[in-house]
Amino acid sequence: MVRIVIANNSRLACDYIRTALDQESGFYVVGCATTSEELQFLLPFGNMVLLSPELADRCAYEVLECVRSTHADVKVIVMGIEDRAENILRYVEAGASGYVLHNDSIEDMVGKLRAASEEKALVSPAIAAMIMDRLAQLANQDASLAQAEAKAVQLAELTEREHEVLDLISLGYTNQQIAEELVIVCGTVKNHVHNILKKLEARNRDEAASIYRIQAEVSVVALAN
């Protein structure tokens, strides 16, 4: 049995939807909530929420976050939203299990509620494509982050002198110029460069310098956040 809590800022809309769902098998409407407080009271008695874009006191995104944090097993279907891919994707990313468009019929709504209860999702091809693109972006971000973290560990293994040499390499210094700057012999610089390339798994000086600059930029962004 799907135990539905209707969350809508209009009592009239709540009553209309409740009347429609009462005629459908497999659904039981636990109650109607027009505020987030009323919704929190009803949540323990339901396993699905039919949520409008706004309640009397909070928007759907805030309500979604709250439901996901307190009742993660409860599915949330957002209803009455515009057919805009970026808008729908925001709700999906926020944790919605499905959506009912502003122009959908009662039959459409019932079909989407049944699909969500069966762990299915009824989405348009455009939305499906956008979700796949978004997942690919997140996967690439995760891969880039993992790579950056690995390079940060490698950089941390450099000695203080190797850091000084790498800093000068990133500024375009030659081995001779580095030797003069640090007041060491050129052969020692070459040894340091060899060790830096080995520790960073870099193919050449340019790649080592690129790793150094990227990590510096990542550190700046992390501090800013």
Residue 134 lies in a domain: no
Domain shared by 12 and 80, yes or no: yes
Residue 176 — pLDDT band, cuts 50, 70, 90? very high
Burial of 25 (0-12, 13-18, 19+ CB in 10 A): exposed
Domain shared by 103 and 30, yes or no: yes
For residue 225, the model assigns a pLDDT of 46
Phi–psi pair at 48, nearest 5 degrees? -150, 140
* CATH code for position 78: 3.40.50.2300
Is it the case that residue 82 has pLDDT exceeding 90? no
Residue 85 — pLDDT band, cuts 50, 70, 90? confident
For residue 218, the model assigns a pLDDT of 55
Point out the least confidently predicted range of 13-22, 48-57, 132-141.
132-141
**Mean pLDDT for the chain overall:** 82
Residue 140 — pLDDT band, cuts 50, 70, 90? low
For residue 101, the model assigns a pLDDT of 86
Is it the case that residue 134 has pLDDT exceeding 90? no
For residue 123, the model assigns a pLDDT of 58
Last residue of a domain, one of 57, 92, 123: 123
Domain shared by 114 and 155, yes or no: no
The total of other beta-carbon atoms located within 10 Å of residue 211's CB is 22
Domain shared by 110 and 155, yes or no: no
In 93-151, at which residue ranges do the beta strands (DSSP E only) sit? 98-101
Domain count, the chain: 2
More confident residue, 133 or 135: 133
Domain shared by 146 and 116, yes or no: no
For residue 115, the model assigns a pLDDT of 87
* CATH code for position 163: 1.10.10.10
Residue 79 lies in a domain: yes
- Whether the predicted model's global pTM rises above the 0.75 cut: no
Residue 101 lies in a domain: yes
**Nearest Cα to Cα of residue 53 among 63, 42, 43:** 63
Cα 5 from Cα 39, distance rounded (Å): 8
Cβ atoms of residues 26 and 1 within 8 Å: yes
Is it the case that residue 172 has pLDDT exceeding 70? yes
For residue 102, the model assigns a pLDDT of 86
For residue 104, the model assigns a pLDDT of 86
